[in-house]
Amino acid sequence: MSEHKPQNVIDSYKLLKLQEGCSLDDVKNSFLELAKQYHPDSGSVTADSTIFVQIEEAYRVVVNDMAKKIKSRDKEEEEDEDKLKSKAVQHRQYLNFEGIGFGTPSQRERQYIQFRVDRASEQIMEYRQRQMDRELAMGDVMLAKDLKQSKKAKITQAIERLVEDLIQESMAKGDFDNLSGKGKPLQKFSDCPHIDPMTHNLNRILIDNGYQPEWILIQKEIRETIEKLRKTIIASRNKVGDPMTIQKEKQWKEVCEEFRENIKILNKRINDFNLVVPILSRQMVHFNADKEIAHVQDIFEAQMKNKAEAEAKKTEAEMEHGRHDIKTIVLKWIARILK
């Protein structure tokens, strides 16, 4: 039989750092060692998913190659056995039961049955050993995580024990004897007898842990969004400035169009809010994008007007100051002439 091997089989042996003729246990051990190094979840410095896939494929190729060898060898043995049977027919009865046992045919049958039981037990043990090796290879990855979690648990338990010891020590000293309300039941429920205690306790737990109903969160989101959009469009209008040129007018139209799209999205969110709000009076109406833009324009014009008035007052004050200086200079000049 030809000993020529496909290139992928030869490369697979090299990738697993093995030589042809090695045992199946050597193949398994080599694969486990390489898996610990290159498995993407191993946490190792050398972890590489591409290399691990190549190693896994090489393992399958090598195992298949070894299986073919075993099958070919078994076939050759069967052919040899058939030749022997044809040559020695008188010994056919001793070739039954895989050649196991001795004695009479019934004794050999019982021995063969026991042999099959033992062989099945060995196969089961080998399968369990393979499973344990595979779990061990993956278990090392989880061990580090478990150690971190156990350390956290130990620290928490140590703190709890310390606090409990301090409380017990203080109670033994009598530090809690003068507390107000000692010996009296705690005020667990509200004074209203019509409120269900279970509902009251559940609501209190939710409030203490920062829970808020969905409609309140949506309402808060809507208010923050419209406030942000208003500030953004006001800043954009101030950036565009005055007077409006063709380029600035085009830029302002793009800003307004984007603002309208954002308002549409916000109005859909208002629809969601109105569906879940439990109180009818809390429902909200849609925002009008055109009104918002007009309001922004009014604000801008008011700012420009106030700015112009401030500049006019400043200019007038400077002119008044200048006239006063001229008057003072003229008076001083006249006084010098009269002298």
Kindly list the domain boundaries of the chain, sorted by start residue.
Answer: 9-80, 212-338
pLDDT score recorded for residue 6: 43
pLDDT score recorded for residue 283: 92
Query: 141, 145, 142: which is closest to 35 by C-alpha?
Result: 141
163 pLDDT higher than 60:
yes
User: Model confidence at 4, in pLDDT bands (50, 70, 90)?
Assistant: very low
Rounded to an integer, what distance in angstroms lies between the CA atom of residue 311 and that of residue 32?
83
Round the average pLDDT of the chain to a whole number and report it. 79
pLDDT score recorded for residue 232: 94
pLDDT score recorded for residue 256: 94
pLDDT tens sequence across 75-113: 777 776 666 655 544 455 556 667 777 777 777 788 878
Give the residue, 45 or 272, on which the prediction is more confident: 272
CATH topology of domain 9-80: Helix Hairpins (1.10.287)
Joined together, the tokens standing for residue 236 give 């954009």
217 pLDDT higher than 80:
yes
User: Model confidence at 148, in pLDDT bands (50, 70, 90)?
Assistant: low
Counting Cβ atoms within 10 Å, is residue 266 exposed (0-12), middle (13-18) or buried (19+)?
A: middle
Rounded to an integer, what distance in angstroms lies between the CA atom of residue 264 and that of residue 339?
82
pTM over 0.85? The answer is no
Q: What is the mean pLDDT of residues 135-145?
A: 66
Joined together, the tokens standing for residue 145 give 């995580």
- Count of residues in the chain: 339
Q: What is the mean pLDDT of residues 140-167?
A: 71
pLDDT tens sequence across 11-49: 888 887 887 778 778 888 888 888 888 877 767 777 788
Neighbours of 216 (CB within 10 A): 14
User: Model confidence at 2, in pLDDT bands (50, 70, 90)?
Assistant: very low
Give the residue, 322 or 71, on which the prediction is more confident: 71
Cβ atoms of 112 and 98 within 8 Å: the answer is yes
pLDDT score recorded for residue 5: 45
Peptide bond just before 40 cis, omega within 30 deg:
no
Q: What is the mean pLDDT of residues 303-311?
A: 84
84-93, 119-128, 171-180, 217-226: least confidently modelled range: 84-93
Q: What angle do CA 225, 228, 232 make, to 5 degrees?
A: 140
Joined together, the tokens standing for residue 149 give 């979690």
